[in-house]
Amino acid sequence: MNNPTESIQFLPESRRRIEIDKPGENKLLYWALGFIALVLLIWGGLKVWEYQLAKQITDPATGLDKQIEDQDKLRDRTYEEQSLLLSQKLNLVGGLIDNHIIWSNALRRLQNLTPAQIQLVNLGAKVYENKMQIEGLAADYGTIARQIKSYLSEAGIVDVLVQQIKLMPTGRLQYQMFITIDKNKFLLAKPVKP
């Protein structure tokens, strides 16, 4: 044992090499943990928000029922009744408005049948009686006769009755005429073009 090298004995190579992980090698694990944490945060935030909304609805002091009662107290009941009444009246007038075009066409047809020498003073109609009343001024009896003939030539006019003819101080004739119409042929017929 005089030799120093003889006294030292080496162990067999049983040591392992110690490896040090490089930073960033476990990126996938970190991403997965971050995603899970994000999902948990979102889920927790939604749960808290759901709880707060449910509390707002069911809270007796400021809940939804309380808001509905407050809005009900603010309603103007007289205005609502007047609006409902107006709506009902407009529904009644709606039929007349819908028939406006029909009457425009009927009056245009009557105008086309009236001679140019006639001046209409008053025109009235009673649809439920199928009658029209015409008051006008004419130059002579022949003009009134041509008007009656023209009206009777129309398929939608059933009868013409001259009620009264007066001589005016101007020399013109004032007359009153009643026309009986057939609603289906006169009012609902296709419009005539002027």
Domain assignment of residue 130, yes or no = yes
Q: Last residue of a domain, which of 35, 59, 74?
A: 74
Residues 37 and 107 in one domain: no
Question: Is the model's pLDDT at 2 over the cut of 70?
Answer: no
The domain boundary, picked from 58, 74, 90, lies at 74
For the stretch 78-126, pLDDT in tens is 888 888 888 888 777 776 666 566 777 778 888 888 888 888 889 888 8
Q: How far apart are CA 121 and CA 173, in angstroms?
A: 12
| Residue 168 resides in a domain | yes
Q: Nearest to residue 179, comparing CAs of 126, 139, 103?
A: 126
* Contact in structure between 192 and 140 (CB atoms under 8 Å): no
Task: Tell me: do 147 and 70 sit in the same domain.
Answer: no
The verdict on residue 193 lying in a domain is no
Residues 6+ apart with CB under 8 A from 167: 173, 174
Q: How many domains does the chain have?
A: 2
Which pLDDT band, with edges at 50, 70 and 90, does 25 fall under? low
Q: Are 69 and 112 within one domain? A: no
- What pLDDT shows up at residue 184? 80
**70 and 109 assigned to the same domain:** no
Q: Which domain holds residue 59?
A: 27-74
